[in-house]
Amino acid sequence: MKDYNTLVKKFWAGDVTETEKLRLYKMVMQQEENARVSSDATDHKAEEEVAPLTLEESQHILEALHRNIQPVDIYKKSTSRTKVWKLLGTITAAAAVILLVIWANRQTWQHAATKPAQQGITAAVKTISNPHQQVMTVRLDDSSQVNIYPGGSISYPVAFLTGQQRVVQLTGKANFKVQHNARKPFQVIAMQIKTTDIGTEFCIDAQQSSLVKIHLKEGSVKVESLQNSHLSVNKLLEHPGEELSINFGTREVKLASPVATAAASATAAMASTHATPAKTKLSFHKTPLSEVFTRLAHREQVKIRFNKAVVNGLTFTGNIEPGDSLENTLDILCSLNGLSFIKTEQGIEITGSK
């Protein structure tokens, strides 16, 4: 390495040849390689002690050499390319570490910020239990009446009337006489089964561990299974006396229908044709939809026009309470039967499918 310092001086003086540039380039690269080995390898004695270049000096010389050396050697190209790839790999690894730290901090912050909000979502629940041997009668905030059988209990949100739905959780057995409100459906959940009232009175028995029974007393109810129940139930009970049994153990769903007598049919027919004064409760049992619209128009003192062919074969079972608005009532009737309605200067016009 006798001419090491000489080549460095000639390089900075601008007197170095292309061949000498390559020799100096290799010497600087070799010096950087030697700096990576352990200190034990530095015991080799050179013929002449030469002060090693600092990192800044080596980098400075390499940059200058890269600008001045002509592309005459394949070795130079491959070595330079290797260093560039090593540098890119180092930068990429460092960037990945930084991104990982930022992501971890962001996840920690989001978890800390979200946790209190999630805890606040849990609504206050009111539970009423019957520890007695007799049936206990409870009147809810919406004036619905619930008869809880011994050992049973119901739970519902404290803010029962503020939500879009009135939902009650049942354990055991209870009879529900619901205060109908078309704008806020009344639902009872027992053992993964949801029962929705359509203006009715019904009884739910969930006293057994894997059996739920829904007994219809008046009006109609819709019975559905929840998504995580592993059962497919979607039934509409329309006839008083019908009882739906759902067995989670055997996965059986049975519907028991009462035997309709001629007298009961005649009574229902007379009730459906009886003129109803305005603003009174309207009750229907499998009544043709054309008659439902006619009686509703009479009660609300409004003209409701419809094409008989559109409503032919359609019926309705349920109650229309005095407090139910005309618009909400029509919306429910049309939704159940795939119809729609529009307001005109002459009144209401019922049309076909939406």
Cβ count within 10 A of residue 247: 15
| 13 three-state secondary structure | helix
Distance between CA 314 and CA 64 in Å, rounded? 92
Mean pLDDT of the chain: 73
pTM over 0.75: no
Q: Which fold has domain 262-351?
A: Phage tail protein beta-alpha-beta fold (3.55.50)
pLDDT of residue 131: 94
% helix / strand / coil in the chain, to the nearest 5? Answer: 40, 30, 35
Who wins on pLDDT, 342 or 106? 342
How far is C-alpha 224 from the geometric centre of its chain's CA atoms? 19
User: Per-residue pLDDT tens for 10-65?
Assistant: 766 777 677 776 776 677 666 656 666 544 444 444 444 444 555 555 555 555 55
pLDDT on residue 353: 63
Average pLDDT for residues 219-229, to the nearest whole number? 85
Average pLDDT (323-337) is: 85
At how many degrees (to 10) do helices 18-36 and 4-13 cross?
130
| Spans of all domains in the chain | 4-72, 126-256, 262-351
Q: Check residue 143 and give its pLDDT.
A: 85
- CA-closest candidate to residue 221, choices 245, 205, 247, 240: 240
Query: Does residue 273 surpass a pLDDT of 60?
Result: no
Closest CA to 354 of 338, 342, 337, 333: 338
* Between residues 155 and 165, the one the model is more confident about: 155
AA identity, residue 94: A
What are the pLDDT digits (tens) for 67-81? 555 444 434 444 445
At the topology level, CATH places domain 126-256 in Jelly Rolls (2.60.120)
Average pLDDT score over residue span 284-310: 89
d(CA 350, CA 338): 11
Condensed to tens digits (0 to 9), the pLDDT of residues 171-201 reads 999 999 888 787 888 899 998 888 988 767 8
Provide the percentage of residues in the chain whose pLDDT is more than 70.
Answer: 63
Q: What does the pLDDT read at residue 104?
A: 47
221/151 Cα distance (integer angstroms): 25
d(CA 79, CA 304): 90
